[in-house]
Amino acid sequence: MLFDVHIHLTDNKYSGYVHHIISSLSMMKIIACSVTVDVETTIRSFNLFNTHRNVVKQFIGIHPEASAREDLERFREIFRSNLQSIDGVGEIGLDGTYDVPIRRQEQVFSAMLELAELTGRPVSIHSRRMLDAVLETLPSYHIKSALLHWFAGSKKQLAKCMDIGLYVSYGPPLVYSEDKKVLLKKTDRDRFLVETDGPVQYSRCFENKPAISTSCLVSVVASAAHTIGMSYDETVELLQKNSKTYLGYI
């Protein structure tokens, strides 16, 4: 069993063949943690995946890019009304590249962390150019487990993440990026996960097509195995344990 811990299956780029993806996930024994970014994709997620929770785990959240336009109270109401369908909170976080006031991003991020704290759900966090701020914020909340998706920090920041027990995930760039391989080697074995972040396209691998768990994840895992000096099967077993622990299965 493999876990893609961060993918946007509610993205419009997947429209028209989501049910094929679901069938493929089941056949390949892959569980996808599908994240949302706003109210619209959250409602779409419930409509698409409430009957497919054996292969799709639903992470519900407001992305920092959407934080200025979203109604927090409406999101809270939707969250509370659908708690039985929610496996995690995400994609949430902070981003220093968007034209969205940081103060508003921080307000929404805090609200999302509060929901995770109150409900005991794991979180999937976006931290581009704001990792230090995210690391300063997290200790204020009792979060069951937290993932820094698409980890792109420094070695020093990675060491701090390991010290406070965070998970970090690596995606398709692990296939070709020496920098990512160096970071993975310095990541605690029980704290690393894999993702695709689909439908992101990668110009240096997978023919620049929208990433999908069933077509990309095996290559990411194989690259991880080679990087850390383990067999593919050993790495699958390790990632399965890490993913289940992150999600709260064990």
Give the CATH H-level superfamily of domain 2-247: Metal-dependent hydrolases (3.20.20.140)
The pLDDT of residue 250: 62
The pLDDT of residue 46: 98
**Token pair 């993440």: residue:** 161
The pLDDT of residue 57: 98
| Average of per-residue pLDDT values in the chain | 97
The pLDDT of residue 141: 98
**Mean pLDDT, residues 152-161:** 97
Q: What are phi and psi of 131, to 5 degrees?
A: -65, -40
Q: For 170-222, what is each residue's pLDDT tens digit?
A: 999 999 999 999 999 999 999 999 999 999 999 999 999 999 999 999 999 99
The pLDDT of residue 65: 98
* Percentage of the chain modeled with pLDDT above 90: 99
The pLDDT of residue 81: 98
Residue ranges per domain, the chain? 2-247
Is the per-residue pLDDT at 19 higher than 70? Answer: yes
| C-alpha distances in Å from residue 66, one per residue of 92, 96, 122, 152 | 10, 13, 21, 21
Determine the straight-line distance between the first and last CA of the chain, rounded to whole angstroms: 15
Q: For 70-115, what is each residue's pLDDT tens digit?
A: 999 999 999 999 999 999 999 999 999 999 999 999 999 999 999 9
Is the per-residue pLDDT at 237 higher than 90? Answer: yes
User: Cα–Cα distance between 198 and 146 in angstroms, integer?
Assistant: 20
**Mean pLDDT, residues 2-25:** 97
